[in-house]
Amino acid sequence: MTSVLTVTRFAPSPTGYLHLGHVRSALEGWRAAQRDGGRFLLRLEDIDQTRCRDEYATAILEDLAWLGLTWDGPVRKQSEHFDEYRRALDRLEAMAVLYPCFCTRREIRDEIARAGSAPHAQSGSAYPGTCRDLSPGGRDEKRRNGFDYALRLDLARALALTGPLYWVEEGESGPHRKRVDPAPLGDVVIARKEMPASYHLAVTVDDAIQGVTLVTRGEDLAAATDVHRVLQALLGLPTPHYRHHELLTDAAGRRLAKRDQALTIRSMRKGGLSPTEIIAQAALTGRGSGPP
Ligand SMILES: [Zn+2]
């Protein structure tokens, strides 16, 4: 038996109202913490200040409280912790596992299309590595000329430092070990010229700082977990266990659209549904068994 207290978290981005799909994720973390007498933390992933709004942050907290999904301790707002991300970024830079990428979205798309016949079908949408081998002089010149850039993780270099990695998935049938394969996402963006953290870096740092022991989130983020495991190894951070849950789908088996206003908690509440009824809908498992 482990004596480590279970710490879970729910980490929405305040770019809209709380949605039934969010509640599914929150519920997974909340229940795991309840079951084990642990803690359920709340974090607002608001590093992208152009898309996040305070009014949504306030509404998310209100809706969670109304649903009874109460959290422990203060809410962590990523926008208040850029210094912590900056320190992690500096460490990665010192390890020479990052490189600046000056490509525009369009250039990346065109390059992927050109390499369309490459044998790695799975890495079809991953960044093709155009800027990985730019000379130091070439990089300096572009920076001097004020080009925008993103800092990408040089995956091959990173894996050469970490060696093979694993993480534990807490599946329905018990925990099992998964081998890390970050190749499908490729050399992901870790930071930008004006922003010391991407989603991947901020989440990895936050989970460690908040002492999260079990990350519960949708199965659409399973590939990101491979990247986060690499970052944990590079930064010497602990590795939580993970539970990737099925995404809610409609009666036809389609993933619920976050933009579907009818499925915000606000609308459902206005429509007369009680917290218990909404929680019951969010908890439905199995494809196609969700709300119509
Ligand atoms: Zn590039």
Q: What distance in angstroms lies between residue 102's CA and the mean position of ligand 1's atoms? A: 5
Q: What distance in angstroms lies between residue 43's CA and the mean position of ligand 1's atoms? A: 31
Order across the sheet with 76-77: list the strands: 7-10, 39-44, 76-77
**pLDDT in the model for residue 158:** 97
What is the pLDDT confidence band of residue 111, given thresholds at 50, 70 and 90? confident
Half-sphere exposure of 177 (CA within 13 A, CB side): 4
What is the pLDDT confidence band of residue 257, given thresholds at 50, 70 and 90? low
pLDDT in tens, 15-34: 999 999 899 999 999 999 99
What is the 3-class SS of the chain, one letter each residue?
CCCCCCEEEECCCCCCCCEHHHHHHHHHHHHHHHHCCCEEEEEECCCCCCCCCHHHHHHHHHHHHHHCCCCCCCCEEHHHCHHHHHHHHHHHHHCCCEEEECCCHHHHHHHHHHCCCCCCHHHHHCCCCCCCCCCHHHHHHHHHCCCCCEEEECHHHHHHHHCCCEEEEEECCEEEEEECCCCCCCCCEEEECCECCCHHHHHHHHHHHCCCCEEEEEHHHHHHHHHHHHHHHHHCCCCCEEEEECCCECCCCCECCCCCHHHEHHHHHHCCCCHHHHHHHHHCCCCCCCCC
Q: What distance in angstroms lies between residue 104's CA and the mean position of ligand 1's atoms? A: 7
Q: What distance in angstroms lies between residue 119's CA and the mean position of ligand 1's atoms? A: 21
Q: What integer is the mean pLDDT of 191-199? A: 91
Lookup result for tokens 């498992």:
285
Q: What distance in angstroms lies between residue 75's CA and the mean position of ligand 1's atoms? A: 36
**pLDDT in the model for residue 3:** 60
Q: What distance in angstroms lies between residue 135's CA and the mean position of ligand 1's atoms? A: 13
* Predicted structure pTM score: 0.90
Q: What distance in angstroms lies between residue 156's CA and the mean position of ligand 1's atoms? A: 16
Q: What distance in angstroms lies between residue 130's CA and the mean position of ligand 1's atoms? A: 5
Residue type, 226: D
Residues in the chain: 292
Q: What distance in angstroms lies between residue 101's CA and the mean position of ligand 1's atoms? A: 4
* Short-list 275, 278, 283, 265, CA closest to 68: 275
Q: What distance in angstroms lies between residue 131's CA and the mean position of ligand 1's atoms? A: 4
CA distance 33 to 5: 9
Q: What distance in angstroms lies between residue 108's CA and the mean position of ligand 1's atoms? A: 7
Q: What distance in angstroms lies between residue 128's CA and the mean position of ligand 1's atoms? A: 8
Residue type, 45: E
* Short-list 188, 248, 191, 258, CA closest to 224: 188
User: Across all residues in the chain, what is the average pLDDT?
Assistant: 89
